[in-house]
A and B are shown apart, each in its own frame.
Chain A
């Protein structure tokens, strides 16, 4: 489980996260939604210890991220960033294999090879495995980075807009995959999404952010309200029931 306690983050004195407190129990898929600039990516990088909060703290299974060993945390928490511009010329297979680095420290065993093969297969990357990253399309590169995060095989997975650049088939496959990981394997998964309907259909919990604060959080049924969503996005949004789901129309 991961706990965010009173986190603040400022850039040049400007608050980007204010009093963010959030407790995510073990297991379950949580979506973070909100307009551009709401602070979603900042919150995720603070939770993934890429940025230090100016106040407050984040704990992962009781350990304070600010104090924990980087190596240990890397075995328990994996993070996919919003923009993955890897300049290095690595093959897809090498990149995914580096996801095992926290476990293997450079000496991969059978378990590591199996995880890499599994991640490549799940994301349909086998035909591309020996290509360099700079020879891929944007969506293929995104899939390679997701495969790396999967290969890391951590209890807690933070994904910042994982569905960016993906076609419908891969988007559905990946969101289904992480939902299964959360339900069947008890992983704690947080995804930043822009597609509210995707969030409502697949996630156990939705966190709505705006202006560096968490406005509300709860199960999709509680948050899929036309008035609330319209206010958050400052855009007229209506919510309808369609095929047993709540669907936002905008």
Chain B
């Protein structure tokens, strides 16, 4: 089908929309963060906290549950959006994210093996194993990609999904044979209701990784312009690609180990930002991180509200929002080279 020739100034020109995006994302993140602190089964409100004057049940809930949960949401959202962004830039395809190229599935396999073979391993070591597996999975995806002739940008995520399916099947098979199926399901489904003080702190690594990405933002953008362009401008293309893939694996592993799998986020957020602001990482990175955080918090809050006093796991809300957004993006992205 031909691309419509009418210009769509609102989204195709980096005009006012692009400039408004950062304050908008910042405002949304702060608003969602505040809401997340005060929404839930036990009541916590500014008034109540004030009345308690620093000690009391509301303060207790805030400090041991709500605050950790909110921070975990923000960090996980940042990490997933960032992982999606870096992956999309380096693979030069807009339809990929860690859970559609085998990174997530491989990391899960790694965690399952740790639970089977070395159950006593501390969480950071578990994350390191997950990241190692995730990196290997992504590497495998890139190897396969190199061998398959690509006629359409949609081939890339298709190959990734097939590979993810195979790795996921291996994981399920092992879990089935070892009677781990139930616990596999339990920890791999993204869920923030389990986040308490002392159980999410590993996610702070996302903040560090975000800084590293920011430092290399220009070089990652240039690597995304292709090998020749990168070399021409004096960027070590191979090294930056490797660094980017390690970042993606670490970010994904940190989130999976602490809160489980949250689908679609890494796909949707960087795509929407790219449509409006373009692909200069230096400019889009803060907006992508903030939007990721805001979206995860929003989905989590919705999950807390719709079936009160119970909770809907974030995987479900994110799945609905994400798949709808993905379909919309598919129709928007058609034509301009993924």
A and B bind: yes
Q: Which residues of A contact B (CB under 8 A)?
A: 45, 48-50, 70-75, 78-79, 81, 85-91, 94, 98-99, 101-102, 105-106, 130-132, 134-135, 152
- Residues of chain A within 8 A (CB-CB) of B14 are 91, 130, 132
Choice from B7, B228, B274 contacting A50 with Cβ under 8 Å: B228
Report yes or no: B236 in contact with A101, Cβ–Cβ below 8 A: no
Report yes or no: B232 in contact with A87, Cβ–Cβ below 8 A: no
Choice from B7, B226, B233, B337 contacting A102 with Cβ under 8 Å: B233
Q: Which residue of A lies closest to B229 (CB)?
A: A86
Complex: how many Å from CA A134 to CA B8?
Answer: 13
Report yes or no: B337 in contact with A134, Cβ–Cβ below 8 A: yes
- Residues of chain A within 8 A (CB-CB) of B227 are 50
Report yes or no: A81 in contact with B234, Cβ–Cβ below 8 A: no
Interface check B323, CB cutoff 8 A:
no
User: Shortest Cβ distance from B61 into chain A, in angstroms?
Assistant: 45
User: Shortest Cβ distance from B121 into chain A, in angstroms?
Assistant: 39
- Residues of chain B within 8 A (CB-CB) of A106 are 217-218, 282
- Residues of chain B within 8 A (CB-CB) of A72 are 234
User: Shortest Cβ distance from B330 into chain A, in angstroms?
Assistant: 17
Report yes or no: A90 in contact with B236, Cβ–Cβ below 8 A: no
Choice from A71, A90, A134 contacting B234 with Cβ under 8 Å: A71
Choice from B7, B234, B279, B338 contacting A74 with Cβ under 8 Å: B234
Report yes or no: A94 in contact with B235, Cβ–Cβ below 8 A: no
- B15, B92, B229 — most chain A CB neighbours (10 Å): B229
Interface check B225, CB cutoff 8 A:
yes
Complex: how many Å from CA A98 to CA B280?
Answer: 10
- Residues of chain B within 8 A (CB-CB) of A91 are 14, 278, 280
Could you list 9 further interchain pairs (A-B, Cβ under 8 angstroms) beyond the known A75-B234, A101-B233, A132-B278?
A70-B236, A79-B232, A85-B337, A86-B229, A87-B92, A88-B278, A89-B336, A90-B221, A132-B14
Complex: how many Å from CA A130 to CA B279?
Answer: 13
User: Shortest Cβ distance from B232 into chain A, in angstroms?
Assistant: 5
Complex: how many Å from CA A78 to CA B234?
Answer: 10
- Contact flags (1/0) for B317-338 with A, using CB distance below 8 Å? 0000000000000000000111
Interface check B48, CB cutoff 8 A:
no
- Contact flags (1/0) for B1-39 with A, using CB distance below 8 Å? 000000100001111000000000000000000000000
Report yes or no: A132 in contact with B232, Cβ–Cβ below 8 A: no
User: Shortest Cβ distance from A145 into chain B, in angstroms?
Assistant: 9
For B, the interface residue count at a CB cutoff of 8 angstroms equals 31
Report yes or no: B336 in contact with A73, Cβ–Cβ below 8 A: no
- A78, A91, A131 — most chain B CB neighbours (10 Å): A91
Tell me how many residue pairs across A and B have CB atoms closer than 8 Å: 82
Interface check B190, CB cutoff 8 A:
no
Report yes or no: B222 in contact with A134, Cβ–Cβ below 8 A: no
Report yes or no: A50 in contact with B231, Cβ–Cβ below 8 A: yes
Report yes or no: B229 in contact with A74, Cβ–Cβ below 8 A: no
Choice from B231, B232, B279 contacting A89 with Cβ under 8 Å: B279
> Which residues of B (67-107) have their CB < 8 Å from a CB of A?
89, 92
Choice from B12, B217, B222, B226 contacting A98 with Cβ under 8 Å: B222
Complex: how many Å from CA A106 to CA B280?
Answer: 12
Report yes or no: A94 in contact with B226, Cβ–Cβ below 8 A: no
- Contact flags (1/0) for B260-280 with A, using CB distance below 8 Å? 000000000000001000111
Interface check B160, CB cutoff 8 A:
no
- Residues of chain B within 8 A (CB-CB) of A105 are 218
Report yes or no: A74 in contact with B233, Cβ–Cβ below 8 A: yes
Interface check B224, CB cutoff 8 A:
yes
Complex: how many Å from CA A71 to CA B227?
Answer: 14
- Residues of chain B within 8 A (CB-CB) of A71 are 234
Choice from A89, A99, A130, A132 contacting B233 with Cβ under 8 Å: A99
Complex: how many Å from CA A105 to CA B226?
Answer: 18
Given contacts A98-B222, A101-B222, A132-B14, contact A90 B279 (CB under 8 A): yes
- Residues of chain A within 8 A (CB-CB) of B92 are 87-88
Given contacts A88-B279, A94-B278, A134-B336, contact A78 B221 (CB under 8 A): no
- Residues of chain A within 8 A (CB-CB) of B234 are 70-75, 101-102
- Residues of chain A within 8 A (CB-CB) of B218 are 98, 101, 105-106
User: Shortest Cβ distance from A74 into chain B, in angstroms?
Assistant: 3
* 10 A-B pairs with the lowest CB-CB distances in the bound complex, closest first: A74-B234, A71-B234, A88-B279, A89-B278, A102-B234, A106-B218, A89-B279, A87-B337, A101-B233, A134-B336
